[in-house]
Amino acid sequence: MEKLCEIMGREKGDENMDTSKTLIETLGIKVTKLEEGLVTATMPVDERTHQPFGVLHGGASVALAETVASVGTYHLVDQDTESCAGLEINANHIKAKKDGIVTAIATILHRGRTTNCGRRRPTNLRFQVYNGSN
């Protein structure tokens, strides 16, 4: 059973976020950096994440973006009394990728009492998924 505390090399914490047997595990998503207001994760571009034409499936990209947003928000709430879920996500798929690794970086733009808004870099849209050549 893989938990974020194990992914991040921590002895305790994040006990409630078990990523085994989830889409995160299925797609091979790995959280590589987790700080307050910042999450970075990677995902392989392979048979698990391809569309039938052999390139990265847009839904997999969106799942990666939603993962960094959800993990980041989860670490901003009181995990004993609050929960979190995504409200909206938008994506434009401009460039195809056949193999390698993609990386998503999420940063907090606004932290409200009941909602948070993230952004992607370098634009002020929500998230940037880098394809390795950016």
Which DSSP state fits 7? Answer: H
* Residue 49 predicted with pLDDT over 90: yes
Q: Which domains does the chain have, with CATH numbers?
A: 4-130 (3.10.129.10)
Q: 47-51, 59-63, 71-75 — which one is most confidently predicted on average?
A: 47-51
117 or 95, which is more confident?
95
* Residue 14 predicted with pLDDT over 60: no
Residue of 19, 23, 27, 13 whose CA lies nearest to 1: 19
Give the global pTM: 0.77
Q: How confident is the model at residue 78 (pLDDT cuts 50, 70, 90)?
A: confident
3-state secondary structure of 102: strand
Tokens coding 128: 């940037």
* Residue 88 predicted with pLDDT over 50: yes
Sign of CA dihedral 88, 125, 36, 42: positive
State the Cα–Cα distance between residues 80 and 129, nearest whole angstrom. Answer: 31
What pLDDT is recorded for position 118? 63
* Beta strand spans in 36-99 (E): 38-45
Among residues 2, 11, 25, 66, which one is catalytic?
66
Q: How many degrees, rounded to 5, is the angle at CA 30 between CA 25 and CA 34?
A: 130
Residue 88 falls in the annotated catalytic set: no
What backbone phi and psi angles, to 5 degrees, belong to 25? -70, -45
* Residue 94 predicted with pLDDT over 90: no
